[in-house]
Amino acid sequence: MRRNRRLVRVCAYALLLVVPGRLLAQTTPAPAPAAAAEKDCNESREVGKADAGREHGTGGWMAGSLAGGVLLGLIGAGVVTAIAATSDPEAETVPPGVNATCYQNGFTDKARGKNTKTAIVGGLLGTVVFVVIYASLSDE
């Protein structure tokens, strides 16, 4: 029992060290230049979603949730997935000719979805590794 508590504590500390700090950092978008003929909100939102689908990377979320799953099983996977689901990613720049607010909303929605899906996959893979390691140590 005492060994398990110590293992959980060590895993929790390791998880805090593994999750990259830049995952929690937010960037502020550059203001879009005033364009005479801005696209309407729906078009701008779709452009933001397309850009997020193409440009937003999720490698950090995969690594963090994989580590969380390996170190703490479903608990670690769930924690990282919850953080991903509440993340607020924003585009670094807004292209000219779009409604900046609507573009950011579309970008954030798509990027948050990508973060969450990636965290779920990484967490489940990490949990499988956790179970395999735990089962192999239990057989001793």
Residue in 95, 115, 113 with CA at minimum distance from that of residue 104:
95
57-75 pLDDT, tens digit per residue, is 999 999 999 999 999 999 9
DSSP 8-state symbol, 98: S
Mean pLDDT of the chain: 81
Phi, psi of 95 (to 5 degrees): -65, 150
- In this predicted structure, which of 38-47, 113-122, 126-135 has the lowest mean pLDDT? 38-47
- pTM (2 d.p.): 0.68
- Residue 13 contacts by C-beta under 8 Å, 6 or more apart in sequence? none
